[in-house]
Amino acid sequence: MHLVPTMVKFVVEYGKDSDPPPPDGRLDAPAFHRNHEPIWSAIAGFLKGQTGDVLELGSGTGQHAATFARRTPRLTWWPSDIYSSHLDSIRAWRRHEGLANLRAPQRIDLTVPDWNWRADDDASGPLAAMLCINVLHISPWRVAQNLFSGAGRLLRADGRLFIYGPFMRDGAHTAPSNTAFDAALRAENPEWGVRDVRDLRTLADEAGLSLFEISPMPANNLVLAFARAVRQN
């Protein structure tokens, strides 16, 4: 039998190898077209009933923030990323969409332990939600640590942290494709890799959060929703 090796793909910086660049600066992430409706189905129930601020970390092209902001006019969305090319793309999507509730992107680097976000008036109030899509496997473990400690600092009492991506469960991969993806990530950078829900629960615990809901997604991905832990007296 002739076996065709599976292509294991991941993108670090969108548009870097694309030729030619998009004329108006709006980069396109192919995965966005596959995952945004499933992700929306997992987060809409909470977000649609909320007002306040939503911070996205590692927004990439800006397509998720633009799409979800259009669907939640009572929320204000704050996209962010580390690459200037991504910040430019988010600005371009923002211009294109013309949404009052999609704010200018800001540079937030989750390798910085005491990272913070800025509202337009430089204040940074408690957040209704935080969203982080396909970031934790393609960054060092301290990014996950700082995401959770930040959520512990910045989420309001009834807020949620939503994380999307491929995850292990109790030390095991959930599909052969995730095993191959994990190996490819670690070969590219030993600090990267598919994270285990069990380890993220430990980080959540340390930040005063708890795993509220797990939503299965297509292609062996999950949306994990974390909320503030209820104190036991």
Ligand X SMILES: C[S@@+](CC[C@H](N)C(=O)[O-])C[C@H]1O[C@@H](n2cnc3c(N)ncnc32)[C@H](O)[C@@H]1O
Footprint of ligand X on residues 49-68 (CB under 6 A)? 57-61
The pair phi, psi for residue 107, each rounded to 5°, is: -85, 115
Binding-site member from 26, 27, 32, 72 for ligand X (CB under 6 A)? 32
Contact window for ligand X (CB under 6 A) among 26-34, 40-48, 70-78, 97-105: 26-34
Calculate the alpha carbon distances from 159 to 92, 131, 137 in Å.
Answer: 29, 11, 24
Question: Does 81 participate in binding ligand X (rule CB under 6 A)?
Answer: yes
Nearer to ligand X, 147 or 207 (CB): 147
86 Cβ partners below 8 Å, 6+ apart? Answer: 13, 14, 27, 59, 60, 61, 62, 105
Of the two residues 12 and 175, which places its CB atom closer to ligand X in the complex? 12
3-state secondary structure 123-181: CCCCEEEEEEECCHHHCCHHHHHHHHHHHHHHEEEEEEEEEEECEEECCECCCHHHHHH
Per-residue contact track with ligand X, 97 to 126, x per CB under 6 A? Answer: -----------xxxx---------------
Closer residue to ligand X in complex, CB, 133/209 = 133
For ligand X, the closer of residues 34 and 169 by Cβ is: 34
Q: Which residues of this chain interact with ligand X, rule CB under 6 A?
A: 11, 29, 31-32, 57-61, 81-83, 86, 108-111, 133-135, 138-139, 143
